[in-house]
Chains A and B, each alone.
Chain A
Amino acid sequence: GAGVSQSPSNKVTEKGKDVELRCDPISGHTALYWYRQSLGQGLEFLIYFQGNSAPDKSGLPSDRFSAERTGGSVSTLTIQRTQQEDSAVYLCASSDYRGQKQYFGPGTRLTVT
């Protein structure tokens, strides 16, 4: 069956612009997670959604970052007024339920120039 998909695969943007990253989880998975991997760093947890519950946003690195999940399925991570330090690979994952085995998408490589 279809795995987790993310779009775009690559995004180059100018500093100060807003960007939207999309994640399509595996059908039926109720939990969805966003991570960031900056160059030379490990995976940094950003936020997760369980079903239609409101997410805990405390892991988001700044108030320029926001995420939503519509209808318990597709999720969008939005970064406003991008900065060079936002350059990273953004990974999305989904699982049957929170805390269970995660299936990762291919990632979006964001470059802020």
Chain B
Amino acid sequence: ILNVEQSPQSLHVQEGDSTNFTCSFPSSNFYALHWYRWETAKSPEALFVMTLNGDEKKKGRISATLNTKEGYSYLYIKGSQPEDSATYLCAFWTGNQFYFGTGTSLTVIP
């Protein structure tokens, strides 16, 4: 069993605050690291797919970085909005299987 850990488990921030979460994964046999947003009563939606060490991706106010040598990825949200409230999942692709973290639950308070 491969360990993918996310922290913190949950987070409450005020509207307008910037925040970030961490995903830790094995540093060996890396193929890809995915980030998904999962809103209540909806399906997970892909944010980023990251494959190269040093990768930085950005989509609007959300960005992510990747360090495959030390086995971590950060997801940043700038100027959080209530609509950002969701669970953010990372998933490690081994080439043959996805391992998901348990997610960071973000609540943005208006």
Interfacial residues, chain A to chain B (CB-CB below 8 A) = 4, 33, 35, 41-45, 48, 56, 59, 91, 93, 99-107
Residue numbers in A under 8 Å from B49 (CB-CB): 100-101
User: Quick check: B34 and A102 within 8 Å, CB to CB?
Assistant: yes
Residue numbers in A under 8 Å from B102 (CB-CB): 41-42
Chain B: interface residue count, which band?
Answer: 20 to 34
CB distance from B50 to the nearest CB of A (A): 11
Known contacts: A42-B102, A99-B31, A99-B32. The answer to whether A48 contacts B97 by CB under 8 A is: yes
Determine the main DSSP class of A at the interface with B.
loop
CB distance from B66 to the nearest CB of A (A): 15
Which candidate, B10-18, B21-29, B38-46, B71-79, is the interface stretch facing chain A? Answer: B38-46
16 A–B pairs (Cβ distance < 8 Å), ordered by A? A33-B98, A41-B102, A42-B89, A43-B44, A43-B91, A44-B100, A45-B99, A45-B100, A56-B96, A91-B43, A93-B44, A99-B32, A101-B49, A103-B46, A105-B43, A107-B43
Question: Is B95 interfacial (CB-CB < 8 Å)?
Answer: yes
Residue numbers in B under 8 Å from A44 (CB-CB): 100
Residue numbers in B under 8 Å from A101 (CB-CB): 34, 46, 49
Tell me the nearest residue of chain B to A46, going by C-beta: B97
CB distance from A48 to the nearest CB of B (A): 7
Once the chains are docked, how many angstroms separate the CA of A102 from the CA of B95? 14
User: Quick check: A42 and B100 within 8 Å, CB to CB?
Assistant: yes
Q: Which of A4, A42, A99 contacts B101 (CB 8 A)?
A: A42
User: Quick check: B97 and A104 within 8 Å, CB to CB?
Assistant: no
Residue numbers in A under 8 Å from B46 (CB-CB): 101-103
Tell me the nearest residue of chain A to B96, going by C-beta: A56
User: Quick check: A106 and B43 within 8 Å, CB to CB?
Assistant: yes
User: Quick check: A43 and B100 within 8 Å, CB to CB?
Assistant: yes
Given contacts A42-B100, A101-B49, 5 further A-B contacts (CB under 8 A): A4-B43, A41-B102, A43-B89, A99-B93, A100-B49
Tell me the nearest residue of chain A to B45, going by C-beta: A104
10 nearest A-B residue pairs (beta carbon): A104-B43, A42-B102, A43-B100, A101-B46, A99-B93, A104-B44, A101-B49, A45-B98, A45-B97, A42-B100
